[in-house]
Amino acid sequence: MAASTEAKSLDGHIKDYLKNTIELQDYFALLPNETKREYELYIGEIIKKDKSIDEKANEILADKKHSEGILYSAFYCLCIYYRRYKEYRKYSELLTKYRSVFYEHPTFDYLESMFEQEFGDIRKAIDLSLSAIEKVKDNSGILHSHAIILAEAFEDNKLDIRNNSGELDNAIITVKKAIRLTNNYPKFYCTLGRLQAIKGDFENAKKSIYQAIDMEKPARLDYSLVIADYQRHITRIEFIRNFKSLDEYKERLEKDLTDIKEKTEKRFSDINETINGYMTRNLEFLGFFTALISFTIGSIQIAASNYENAARLIITLCGGLLLALGGFGVILNGRKGTNRSLIVITLGIIMIVLAMLFPTILNMFGLTEF
């Protein structure tokens, strides 16, 4: 507890209440403003020490003769009680019944956001916690509540960090502000560590949680349970870090295998292209020599007849062979050998045209006796 006069007075009133010197409604009347962090702390303190406080708070809430402030404190006390002891059905019924009565109170969104965090819409919980921060300035408890809602949402995969990185950064800023306002509350450091781990800052995450462990007082009744919870978060951080390292190694391995596969496929493609090139050239050579042999044999046979007709036929045969060779090249090479094949085909056409014009050419040069 704080060491101020007001804090000492409230500590004294807690003792008075537990001794039945004052009633619960009188204790509520002595609480600070609901926007102060101490308001929730002193309600939480009385809940820990009086297990039957829910019955008394319900009686106060049902009695409309009390002031608005006392009625709301009873409502606030019940919300914290039901949440602490996980009586969420009663928590939900309480919010539904009194929403229209207390919704204008600046801390109402805070109470509702804590319920939505457990059993409602996570997006609604986040929006309500942001609304509470806007309404209540510099309350470390409300700031921390927003941060822990986001921490649990990311850890439970209700939010994807890839699409909500800005909210993660804002949550870290928010919990650091809560620590600046109240730097003696260990749980704030644990929440910071959880958020740092989600971001991937594993070393600082562990440091933050170890700081929370060091700050806890062994005299605390649930000390061993709290430390066990902190250790669970540290174990989770180690697991996430190892898993992330393994995942990164897997990605690198997959990338290397993909590169090897692409290089191998390219190499096989180059080899196949080279083999096909050799086969194409061999076929072209074979076709060329076959045409040459056919041309030679045909020329010898034609030369035995009339020389003029023999010359025309030889030229025609040569042109036809060039046309056939050019067409053969187009079939074998496709587009790659188009230019060369077109030259051969053009020469073939010229040879055939010359054969057709052969008598005219002879007459032009006076070689009719040839």
Cβ–Cβ under 8 Å, residues 28 and 69: yes
pTM of the predicted protein model: 0.66
Cβ–Cβ under 8 Å, residues 182 and 37: yes
290 — pLDDT class (breaks 50, 70, 90): low
Cβ–Cβ under 8 Å, residues 129 and 138: no
For residue 27, CA distances in Å to 4, 13, 49, 245, 327 come to: 18, 7, 14, 54, 107
Q: Which residues contact 100 (CB under 8 A, 6 or more apart)?
A: none
First to last CA, the chain: 132
What are the start-end ranges of the H helices in 103-222?
108-119, 122-135, 140-155, 165-181, 186-199, 202-215
- How confident is the model over 206-233, as a mean pLDDT? 93
Mean pLDDT of the chain: 84
- How confident is the model over 205-226, as a mean pLDDT? 92
> Which pairs from 90-97 meet CB under 8 Å and 24+ separation?
91/115, 92/119
5 — pLDDT class (breaks 50, 70, 90): very low
Q: What angle do CA 193, 131, 166 make, to 5 degrees?
A: 45
Calpha distance 8→5 (Å, rounded)? 5
**pLDDT over threshold 90, residue 214:** yes
Say which amino acid occupies 314. Answer: I
What is the structure's pLDDT at 254?
74
Q: 44-68: string of b/e by CB count within 10 Å (b at 16+)?
A: eebbeebeebbebbbebbeeeebee
Q: Which residues contact 231 (CB under 8 A, 6 or more apart)?
A: 213
Radius of gyration of the chain (CA): 46
Cβ–Cβ under 8 Å, residues 124 and 116: yes
**Sign of the C-alpha dihedral, residues 321, 326, 327, 328?**
positive
277 — pLDDT class (breaks 50, 70, 90): low
For 370, half-sphere exposure in the C-beta direction (CA atoms, 13 angstrom radius) is 17
Question: In sequence order, what E strands does the chain have?
Answer: none
**Sign of the C-alpha dihedral, residues 280, 282, 288, 290?**
negative
DSSP three-state, residue 200: coil
Low-confidence winner among 123-127, 171-175, 180-184, 311-315 (lowest mean pLDDT): 311-315
